[in-house]
Structure formats: C-alpha cells, structure tokens
Structure 1
Amino acid sequence: MSTTTTRRMRTAAALAAATALLAACGGGGASGDDTISIVGFAVPEAANAAIADEFSDTESGAGVGFRTSYGASGDQSRAVVDGLDADYVHLSVATDVERLVDAGLVEETWDDAENKGIVSTSIVVLGVRDGNPKNIQGWDDLIRDDVEIVTPNPASSGAARWNALAAWGHVTENGGSEEEAAQFLDDLFANVVSLTNSGRDATQSFLGGTGDVLLAYENEAILAAQNGNGFEYVIPETTLLIENPGAVLTEAAPITDDWLEFVLSPEGGQRQFALNGFRPLNLDDPGVVDLSEVGLEASDIEGAADADDPFPAVTNLLTLEDNFGGPGWGGIVDQLFADGSEGEAGVVTQAIEKSGKATQ
C-alpha cells in the first residue's frame, strides 16, 4: 500500500472518529438550523471564508448561511463564555477551548479524535523588511540593540503565546537552561516596540511601518503577499509547529458537525487552508507537507517565499507533544504565562513587565 493511500485512510479514520464524537452535540443552535455561527481568532478569517464558499457547493452545505466573529483568541473565548453566540469555534490555542469545556459549552471529548481537535497548522516565522536590511537570520539576531520587534500580547492573543514558546524553545531545546531561556525572553521583550491585541493587529502594525521584525504565523506572511502587502520572512532553524483547535459547541446547530467534517477533509477545508498559506494537516508526520494529499501543487500556493517549495521542512521543528509535555499546553502555560494573580507570574509575563510594556 502506498504512503499516500495510507495517509488518506488515516485521515478518513480521523474524520469518522471526529464525526462520531460530535454526534451528541446536536441541538437547536443559537444561529438556527441553517446558519452556522463561527467565532474565531483573527488570523484564519480569510481561509474560513474560502472554506465556507466551498462548503456551500456541497450537498450538506447547500443553503447554509454563516455568521462570523473574529478577534484575539483569548478575548473570543471569554466572549463565548459570556454569551456570544457560537456553533463552532476556531481558536489559536487549546487552552481557549478548554475554557469553554470548563463552562459546559464544549464536550470534554472534543479532542479525542486522531487529529486531537486540531484543524489548522502553521509555523512561527520572522517577518522582515524588504531586502532584510537588518540581516535577520534567526532568533539570536532579535536581541541585538539595533532590532525592534512587533508581536501581539500573550494576555489576549494565542499567536503571541506560540511566538513566545518558540523563542523559549529556541534556547531550551538547543541545550540552554531555563534560566538562559528566561534571560533570552527578557532581552527579546525589551526590544518589542509594538505589543498588539491580536496576531492580525500585529501584522497590520508591521505593514504600517512599525518595527524591523514581526513575530508571526507563516500563513500571515503568505496571505499578506497574496493581498499585495507582502513582506519577506525568515524561517529559523528552530521553530514551533502552530496547532490551532476547532470545536463544535454542545448546543450547536446539527449542520455544524458536517461543517467540521468538511473543514478536516483533505480536498475540502485542508485544501483551502493550504491555498491561504496554512500547512495542511499531516497526521503521520506534522513536519512534512505533501500538497498532493490536498490536490495541489507547489505552483498553486501564491505568496510563499519559495514558489518551488512553499512549505519547506524545518531543520528543528518543535511540537507541543514532542518537546513541551503535550498534547496540549500542560504546565507550560503557568510556567510562561501565569498572570501572577494566584502566585508567581510566568516567565513571559515577567519579561513583559520588566520591559515596561505591560499596559500596551
């Protein structure tokens, strides 16, 4: 049996499992049986819109409408807890879905399928100005005295947490101590000149002329190029696989189960994610992108740094599961991002406070 056939079978199995797990999530959704209310973090808005267009052309999706709300992942998660209508959430980090589980809005089994609840993936990259005038080649260049950085705020943005964890892992997963990693984060945030609410806001700040380097999702750089606002980007030798979760709410309209199945399907949602700069899911090897699995060729991906290899392999690709005690964020959340209200503040929280940018 070929590798391609095996991967398709594994993906199909994951889809079947996800559908089975979500079968109990029916009910009269807040948006009505023919409308799906999507609440998401800001970055995948364009991709989800493209997926919705494709879904509308399927038998299941014919006549289905959509209502959408996008913003910073943490803010969106808290808004749903506070009553924002949602049938499906597409958030940046799993902890923002777990908040909904704790509130009784999402089933505890939401991440039990083979895809572990993940619907979209990307990597952390370093966006730079045209021609890379500061000669940024990797993480260590970001703590030079002549470099100014744009990144979102971990207090509201999931993208910011991926960025910070990638920076932490650059040190700890290459032989450095946690003390050295903490110092690296202190030095990095000392160079931050724009600490925005969301990943999309950070991109807009950078495009507006702020900073020398943007900590960003790879797909944000590709999408910006597709929209005529491109910037160059560097993939560090060590970077982090970004894994964004999606989940159906317990009171969702029944059609939302079909939507999630389509989002996960190789030639449905995953194809559209790839066309919008995300790395399509690979359940066998997250570090490998096989565009043929989603019916595409390299030339179909516009805006990538290398048209012949739009999603290149990373020399040292870190993942939550392999490097940080996952699946899920586990104790790394408190270690890095605790706000200090119930004990010692996390390493990243302290770094931001030391930088004087905590109120930005």
Structure 2
Amino acid sequence: MKNALILAFAALMLAACGTGGTGGGETMSLVGFAVPKAANNAIQKAWAKTAHGKGVRWKESYGASGDQSRAVVSGLKADYVHFSLETDVTRLVGAGLVTADWNTGPTKGIVSQSVVVLAVRKGNPKNIRGWDDIVKPGIGIVTPNPGSSGAARWNILAAYGQVLAKGGTRQQAEEYLTAFFRNVDALPGSGRDATTAFTGGTGDVFVTYENEAILARQSGEDFDYVVPDTTLLIENPGAVLKAAGPKAGKWLEFVLGETGQTEFAKKGFRPLTRIAAVDVPGANDPADPYPVPKALLTIAKDFGGWDKAATEFFDETNGVITRIQKQAGKS
C-alpha cells in the first residue's frame, strides 16, 4: 500500500510538471530576437486576462535573431518564434519545424514593424539630419553586426537603398557603404547590445529601429533620433512551430489583433492594422508618434525579397556587404 501511494504521488507530480505547474496552466516557450522583449511581455500580460491566455506560463529566450534561429534548429524548445528576418523563420521551415505556409495569412507572417532611424546625441551636436551626414569625417557610427544581427541587415540595406532611391548607381551605393563602414566605431552582436554601446557613450550616431530608440527613451535614456527622408520598412516575422502546444495558435491570433498591435504601438512599433489612437512616450511627438517618411523602401519592392537579398548582400563568401566589411576591416 505504501509503495502504491508513493507511485500515485509521483504520477501526480509528473502530470503537474507536464502542464507547467500548479493550476493546470500550459507552459509556452517563446524564442525571439532581443528588441521586442518589452512589447511581447506587455502582450503576454494582456493575453493573461483572456480565456485562452489565463494560466499560461512562459519560458523565454532572447538574443541576436540569427543566433536564436540556429539555436532552435539545434534543439532549443520553442512554441512560438519572433525573429528579425524572414530568413530566420525559413531556416526552421527547411529543418521541418515550421510549416511551409506560415506566411500565407493576411500579414504574410509579419507580426511587428518599424523603420530605420538615426539616433543622435542630445541636442544633435553633430547636426546629423540624414544619411549623407553620417559618412562625413569624424562621425562615429554604432550599428549591430550583420553577421549575427537581423537588425543590422535592415540598417545596412536602408543605407544602401537610399542611394539608389536618390538616383544613384549600385557602384555609388557600394562606395557609400565603404564610407559608412570606415566610420563604424562599434559592431555589437545584437540590436540590444548596440543600444547599450551607444547609450554607454560609444559613437555619435546609432543606426537602429525606431522602436528601439523610443523604448530606450521610455526607459530614461536621453538622446534624440531622426527619421531620414528615405528609410526602410522593417518587417519582423512570427511563427508557430509544428510541435507547439495547443494554445500557440490562439496566441498568434492575439498578437495580430487590436490589443496585441496596440501594445506593440505603445512600445514604439508601428502597428500593422488600424488601432485606436495612443500616446507613445519617447516618440518625437507622442501624440503623432509615427510620421510617414517621404520615401519608404521595402524588402519586397526594392530588394526582391529576403531570399534574394540574403544571398546577394550577406552571403558569407560573395555577399556585397560581406565583401565591403572585409575590405574595411570591420567583419
């Protein structure tokens, strides 16, 4: 009898562990790139107030987008991923972890969006107004490393694409990037690490996501930022894995709904869908936080999509950006 009671108790404990602890709540694993953690956490709190989200517990892992994607392929548990680049999700498709139709919904698999901006020191002492100013002699640039960071790839393509948008040639765009990398003071591993470097005093200008600049200012950092006349729309994908728990699909629906997108907007991301007006502390104009740039480039329209852009610009052997980085000694 004593042995039977012990076995029954053990079975109950195993069942509790399998459902995420007491109360029968499901445990979900979120793996993402570093930048949207604050927004995802805010959405999780809102979701917890709903019938589907009540009792759900979270295990989270955040870091550089490419590193996180490779970690999931190598066995890091994930029910839902939120990455910087489409290619970091398609890597999971190739590994059989995400279905091939992950990007066929109304938002094409995108769950958050922003634009590339230029963060500058308070009062803008170097008078940086746009892309031409940051390649002048004596300007120190901070941007994450495109070898590990998805944020960096958006930044670098924005810098390249703005030359073409003004009527420049591909050769002139490469010359611009050569000057750009010549001025780089720091290439941290992730977008969040780059923010830390800049706010710690490195460089004169930080090429970053608009939402990262806004969130840093919400957190007490004191710097300015400039939305260039020509910039690039940043589109971050999210996907549910094949082996995900039963509530993961409901989570994704919530993320894409009005409440989820409102929480993204409050943390500096431009909402994917129409939401009620919100004030966004940290934005240049909290009441009108997301002005429309004069020219907004997109990966699909201006670079032929991420599959093409990843090969052309970031191939480890022959990519345009890879070559320029090596030549500048900034790999």
- Equivalences, count: 310
2:246 to 249, 254, 258: 254
Cα-to-partner distance string for 1:25-62 (whole Å, 9 max, x where unaligned):
xxxxx986701100000000000000000000001101
Aligned to 2:218: 226
Does structure 2 conserve the Cα–Cα contact (< 8 Å) formed by 1:230 and 1:303?
A: no
**Paired residue for 1:150?**
142
- Candidates 29, 33, 37, aligned match of 2:29: 37
- 2:272 is aligned to 281
In the alignment, what sits opposite 1:310? 289
User: Does 2:43 align with 1:69?
Assistant: no
Shift in Å, 1:321? 2.1
Residues 208-242 of structure 1: CA deviation (Å, up to 9, x unaligned): 00000001000011101111113200111100000
- Aligned match of 1:46 in 25, 38, 43? 38
Superposition deviation, residue 330 in structure 1 = 2.8
| Cα shift at 1:296 | 2.9
In the aligned structure 2, how far is the partner of 1:308 from the partner of 1:59? Answer: 32
Q: Superposition pairs for residues 129-148 of structure 1, below 5 Å?
A: 129-148=121-140
Q: Say whether residues 1:325 and 2:298 are aligned partners.
A: no
**Structure 2 Cα separation of the partners of residues 334 and 192 of structure 1:** 23
Asked if structure 2 preserves the Cα contact closer than 8 Å seen for 1:173 and 1:323, the reply is: no
1:295 aligns with 2:276: yes
TM-score (norm 1): 0.84
Specify the alignment match of 2:173 in structure 1: 181
CA contact (8 A) 2:111 2:237 kept: yes
Percent of aligned pairs with the same residue?
Answer: 56
Structure 2 counterpart of 1:113, from 89, 105, 117 = 105
Secondary structure at the aligned position of 1:246 is classed as strand
The alpha-carbon deviation at position 331 of structure 1 amounts to 1.4
Give the corresponding residue for 2:230: 238
Structure 1 stretches (4+) deviating beyond 3 angstroms?
A: 30-33
CA contact (8 A) 1:151 1:216 kept: yes
* Backbone CA RMSD of aligned residues: 1.2
Which among 247, 261, 269 is matched to residue 260 of structure 2? Answer: 269
Aligned partner of 1:357 in structure 2 is: 330
Judge conservation of contact 2:280–2:287 (CA < 8 Å) in 1: no
1:335 paired with 2:326, answer: no
Equivalent position amino acid for 2:320 in 1:
V
Cα deviation, 1:260-315, whole Å, max 9, x if unaligned, reads 0000001x210100000000004xxxxxxxxxx32233xx2111012332101100
Change (3 A) 1:31 1:166: farther
Q: Are the aligned partners of 2:110 and 2:238 in contact in 1 as well (CA < 8 Å)? A: yes
Structure with bigger gyration radius: 2
The range that moved more, 301-310 or 215-224, is 301-310
Q: How many angstroms apart in 2 are the aligned matches of 1:178 and 1:105?
A: 37
Q: CA deviation at 1:333?
A: 1.2
Match of 1:109, SS state, is: coil
Tell whether the 8 Å contact from 2:69 to 2:91 is kept in structure 1 after alignment.
yes
SS in 1 for 2:221: coil
* Residues in 2 aligned to 1:257 and 1:308: alpha-carbon distance in whole angstroms: 33
Among 68, 85, 90, the alignment partner of 1:93 is 85
Shift of 1:253: 0.2
Query: Which SS does the other structure have where 2:81 is aligned?
Result: strand
Contact 2:163 2:172 survives alignment (8 Å): yes
Aligned residues of 1:31 and 1:253 also touching (Cα < 8 A): no
